[in-house]
Amino acid sequence: DPRIKAVGFTGSRSGGTALMQTAQARPEPIPVYAEMSSINPVFLLPEALRARGRELGEAFIGSLTMGAGQFCTNPGLVIAVKGEALDGFVEAAAETIRSASAQTMLTPGIHDAYTQGVNTLADSQSAREVARGPAGDGPNQCQAGLFVADAQDFLKDDALQAEVFGSTSLVV
């Protein structure tokens, strides 16, 4: 409709990219104001990990599982320096996620995409599953997950860099 002069969008990178291409192909191109993807990398600094790594691990899972991970602020990627302090963070996060109840995702399509993303991580030779939350018994239940991968593997494997929209995160 030529009366539309701009578009606002929140959602997947592929959906937003398609919308931007459509908006630019119009006889009168219009702007698309988009918030796309929700990988939201979290950088854990060595001093913070040493001082309160376990506490951060527990709090991290609260953020990861809030709303079945369907918030734009969902921390889908954690970057940190390998070592004992990071091990403590991962251990605390794993303990917390194992008791994180499954939550209902907004639509069957979102749940299916989430399941595919988690399966890609689980099937990867480059990532290792650390923990999963309990499975739900209703439709579209998001079972939280935590995976780890080395930095070199992460950089070489495009599948590890893809968004998993929901309560799963990768620690690199």
Measured between alpha carbons, how far is 19 from 4 in angstroms, rounded to an integer? 13
Which entry of 72, 129, 142, 163 is annotated as an active-site residue? 72
Measured between alpha carbons, how far is 144 from 28 in angstroms, rounded to an integer? 44
Please confirm, yes or no, whether 72 is among the known catalytic residues.
yes
The alpha carbon dihedral of 136, 171, 111, 119 has a sign of negative
The token pair that represents 61 in the structure block? 């899972």
On whether the CB atoms of residues 121 and 160 are closer than 8 A, the answer is yes
User: Residue 17: which H helix or E strand, with range?
Assistant: helix 13-24
Please confirm, yes or no, whether 47 is among the known catalytic residues.
no
Measured between alpha carbons, how far is 72 from 38 in angstroms, rounded to an integer? 5
The token pair that represents 73 in the structure block? 């602020």
On whether the CB atoms of residues 97 and 61 are closer than 8 A, the answer is yes
On whether the CB atoms of residues 68 and 133 are closer than 8 A, the answer is no
Which entry of 28, 35, 47, 55 is annotated as an active-site residue? 35
* Residues taking part in catalysis: 35, 72
